[in-house]
Amino acid sequence: MSKFKYLEDVVTLEYDQEKCVGCTMCTIVCPHEVFRMEAKKAFLLARNLCMECGACMRNCPAGAITVEAGEGCVRGIINELLGIEGPCC
């Protein structure tokens, strides 16, 4: 799913690193490798690749992540299957 890309700086993903307890779940569940671990904390590696699926927020035990999960991921998948490139939303 490497072609997926959101419009620049419109994603609703917010992350509070102060709350992170270093469980690594966000790096496991994110399909686009938006988060990476460094020094036992997650950090945002590629925020604009977020498809707002909500998996990281739902799996973060510390409440460190918020995102308005919507249809972005579904639309992105359909666009890729149809061969449509570029921003999906």
Residues 28-67 that bind ligand SF4 (CB under 6 A): 29-32, 34-35, 42, 50-56, 59-62, 64-65, 67
User: Based on CB atoms, which residue is closest to ligand SF4, 22 or 84?
Assistant: 22
d(CA 70, CA 52): 6
User: Based on CB atoms, which residue is closest to ligand SF4, 40 or 85?
Assistant: 40
DSSP class of residue 82 equals T
Give the tokens for residue 80: 């890729």
Please give the angle made by the CA atoms of 47, 14 and 43, to the nearest 5 degrees: 55
User: Shortest gap between Cβ of 16 and ligand SF4 (angstroms)?
Assistant: 8
User: Based on CB atoms, which residue is closest to ligand SF4, 16 or 85?
Assistant: 16
